[in-house]
Chains A and B, each alone.
Chain A
Amino acid sequence: MMKKHRNLLNYSFDCLRRYRMRTAVILITFLIATTMISAVLFTKDGLEREAELSVDSSPDLTIQYIKAGRAEPISTAYIDDIAKVEGVERVLKRTWGYAGIGDKTYVVIGLDPTGLDYSRGVITSLESGRFLTPEDDGTGNVVVGKLIAGMLKVKVGDDMILLSESVDANKFHVVGVFSDESSIYTADMIVMCLSDANDFFKMPEGMVTDLCVYVEPDQIPNNVAAKMTSMPNVRILDQDLLLRGYRAAYGARGGIFTTLWTILLVAIALIAFSQAIVVGHESKFEVGLLKTFGFSTLDIIEVRLVESAVLGFFASSLGMVIGFVYAAYFNAPALVDILLGWAFLPKEFHLPVLVSATSVFSIYAVTVVPLLITTVVPAWLNAITDPELAMRRAAA
Chain B
Amino acid sequence: MKRIIVLPILALVFTASLMALCAYSEMGWGNRTYDSALRETIGLPSIAVGTNYEGTRNPLLEIFVRSLYDVPGGHDYVVSSSFIDTPMRLGFYRESVPGFNMTMRKG
Interface size class of A (residues with CB under 8 A): 35 or more
Bound complex: CA A365 to CA B83 (Å): 11
Q: Could you say which of B10, B25, B45 has the most chain A C-beta atoms within 10 Å of its C-beta?
A: B45
Bound complex: CA A311 to CA B64 (Å): 42
Verify B4–A16 contact, CB threshold 8 A: yes
Which residues of the partner chain A approach B68 to less than 8 Å between Cβ atoms?
A: none
Verify B99–A58 contact, CB threshold 8 A: no
Within 8 A of B (CB), among A214-233: none
Q: Could you say which of B7, B48, B53, B84 has the most chain A C-beta atoms within 10 Å of its C-beta?
A: B48
* Interface-located stretch among A155-163, A185-193, A267-275: A185-193
Shortest beta-carbon distance, B100 to chain A, in Å?
A: 8
Verify B48–A241 contact, CB threshold 8 A: no
Contact of B22 among A71, A96, A310, A360 (CB under 8 A): A360
Q: Which residue of A lies closest to B82 (CB)?
A: A251
Task: Let me know if B5 is at the binding interface, CB within 8 A.
Answer: yes
Q: Could you say which of B3, B24, B36, B80 has the most chain A C-beta atoms within 10 Å of its C-beta?
A: B80
Bound complex: CA A50 to CA B84 (Å): 22
Verify B48–A186 contact, CB threshold 8 A: yes
Contact of A185 among B3, B11, B38, B80 (CB under 8 A): B38
Which residues of the partner chain A approach B34 to less than 8 Å between Cβ atoms?
A: 53, 182, 185
Task: Let me know if B104 is at the binding interface, CB within 8 A.
Answer: no
Q: Which residue of A lies closest to B92 (CB)?
A: A244
Which residues of the partner chain A approach B42 to less than 8 Å between Cβ atoms?
A: 109, 111, 185, 189, 191
Task: Map CB proximity to B onto A345-358 as digits: 1 under 8 Å, 0 otherwise.
Answer: 11001001111110
Bound complex: CA A38 to CA B29 (Å): 18
Verify B92–A17 contact, CB threshold 8 A: no
Bound complex: CA A71 to CA B100 (Å): 11
Verify B38–A254 contact, CB threshold 8 A: no
Q: Which residue of A lies closest to B70 (CB)?
A: A70
Verify B3–A255 contact, CB threshold 8 A: no
Interface size class of B (residues with CB under 8 A): 35 or more
Task: Let me know if A197 is at the binding interface, CB within 8 A.
Answer: no
Q: Which residue of A lies closest to B77 (CB)?
A: A248
Which residues of the partner chain A approach B40 to less than 8 Å between Cβ atoms?
A: 57, 120-121
Shortest beta-carbon distance, B43 to chain A, in Å?
A: 5
Which residues of the partner chain B approach A39 to less than 8 Å between Cβ atoms?
A: none
Task: Map CB proximity to A onto B43-74 as digits: 1 under 8 Å, 0 otherwise.
Answer: 11111111111101101110110000000100
Which residues of the partner chain A approach B53 to less than 8 Å between Cβ atoms?
A: 105, 341-343
Verify B92–A210 contact, CB threshold 8 A: no
Within 8 A of B (CB), among A168-209: 181-189, 191
Verify B11–A17 contact, CB threshold 8 A: no
Which of A's residues lie within 8 Å of B, judged by CB? 10, 13-14, 16-17, 23, 41, 47, 49-51, 53-59, 62, 64, 66, 69, 71, 92, 94, 96, 98, 103-107, 109, 111, 115-116, 118, 120-125, 131, 145, 147, 181-189, 191, 210, 212, 235-237, 241-242, 244-252, 254-256, 258-259, 310-311, 313-314, 317-318, 320-321, 324, 340-346, 349, 352-357, 359-360, 362, 365-366
If A96-B44, A145-B48, A359-B83 are given as contacts, then 8 extra A-B residue pairs at C-beta distance below 8 Å, sorted by A number, are A51-B46, A58-B44, A64-B59, A123-B35, A123-B37, A252-B78, A255-B81, A357-B26
Sort A-B residue pairs by CB-CB distance and give the 10 closest, nearest first: A343-B50, A251-B80, A121-B37, A255-B81, A57-B39, A314-B11, A317-B14, A355-B25, A235-B99, A125-B35
Which of B's residues lie within 8 Å of A, judged by CB? 1, 3-5, 7-8, 10-12, 14-15, 17-19, 21-22, 24-26, 29, 34-54, 56-57, 59-61, 63-64, 72, 78-84, 91-92, 95, 97-99, 101
A selection of 15 A-B contacts at a CB cut-off of 8 Å is A50-B47, A54-B47, A58-B43, A118-B41, A124-B35, A125-B35, A185-B39, A237-B59, A241-B60, A251-B80, A310-B11, A318-B10, A321-B18, A354-B29, A355-B22
